[in-house]
Amino acid sequence: MMTDLVVVGLGHVGLPLAARACAVGMTTAGYDTDGAVVDGLRAGRSHIGDVRDAQLAAMLTAGFRAGRDPAVLGRAGTVVICVPTGLTADGAPDLSAVRAAAADVAAHLRPGTLVVLESTSRPGTTQEVVRPVLERGSGLRAGEDFYLAYSPERIDPGNPSFGLSNTPKVIGGCTPLCAKYATAFYGRLVDTLVVARGTREAEMAKLLENTYRYVNIALVNEIALCCDALGIDVRDVLHCAATKPFGYAPFRPGAGVGGHCIPVDPHHLAASADAAGRPLRLVSAARTVLDRLPRHVTERAAALLTGLGKPVAGAEILLLGAAYKPGSADVRHSPAVPVVRDLRERGARVLYHDPYVPEFTVDGTPVPRAPELPRALADAGLAILLQDHTCYGAPLMARAPCPVLDTLGRFSGPRITQLHRC
């Protein structure tokens, strides 16, 4: 029996795609090598915030099945690869998951199948990495026997305004015919389609989107540090600048960047630029600024405790927010990770509160979770606000019995200290 769609990789990108396909009536299956993910989905437990258990239940009722057997790929009309593309230990782009997924697809590829890569990667990945694996493993030719395209994911976890259906979808085909088949597929899922000249342009567009944010986040944080040195109120500067209705996009300073895309994608772009002999110096400078932000947080925390006559060593420090963004349980590359690491090195006893993150581990060691926020604030020697969760409201922060270091510039009060002086 044929399946309209098989999604490879059932994470933050793949599972919402599968959910959308089920919602429009496509027969859909998922393939993932993580047994815990597969078992949870089969039992009706979603590990992704954007796909609730009730929605997963509807998917299962509609016939969705998750599994670890790649044989399901041989029954697919369309295969979409949504596996992670992170970094190696030395910071180089890691395409091992893409290669492994492509090899699995190749072993079961049938003539007439559409294969789409959604994983973020360097320009040329679709044509130079995925295509050869598919052709060698299947004996079929892209653009003739099967169809190959790249369509970068634009999932923004926790965004209530923009989801898969109403976010424009960029599509780049290996050939015009490949682009035509990919456009027909995504036309059933997404309201607006944007056809790129080719796969490399689509790959580059995705890297540009996230590098734009990366560089501008670095810029606003460096401006905040400059304002500190000059005695300028950075919050007022940002408020005034944001009133301009054209030519300016507002960004806020904080403890750093997080998530799977923003801290990672510029590395893929920089690696390609270096290989082409055109290093992106602006991206390198932004990385320098952003890499030192968590240390700036811990230095300010240490200075705050010292000013209160308390040593950092042995102090109980409560982190408010472990996730990398508000309303999310995603801790990938969260600034909280290096903050915990540095505070531990300074001898502090670190615990965290986050209503969305039930467990938080750094370097293999669990960070104790504070289940009751008021009690945790009463017991802590210092609290550091890292994330803008709605539970951290102004009344609560204003009444906090312990000193609070606000890295987001949200609150004011007698016991609240802004990360950036004003």
Structure tokens at 83: 């596996």
Active site residues: 261
Q: Please state, in angstroms and rounded to a whole number, the distance separating the CA atoms of residues 143 and 127.
A: 11
Give the DSSP per-residue string, 130-156. IHHHHHHHH---BTTTBEEEE------
Closest CA to 77 of 106, 47, 112, 108: 112
Q: Which amino acid is at 221?
A: N
Burial of 375 (0-12, 13-18, 19+ CB in 10 A): exposed
| Dist. CA 68–CA 65, nearest whole Å | 10
Q: Which of 240, 248, 258 is nearest to 219 (CA)?
A: 248
C-alpha to C-alpha distance for 277 and 228, rounded to whole angstroms: 37
Rounded to the nearest 10 degrees, the angle between the axes of helix 14-23 and helix 53-61 is 50
In the sheet where 382-385 sits, what is the strand order? 349-353, 316-320, 382-385, 404-406, 416-418
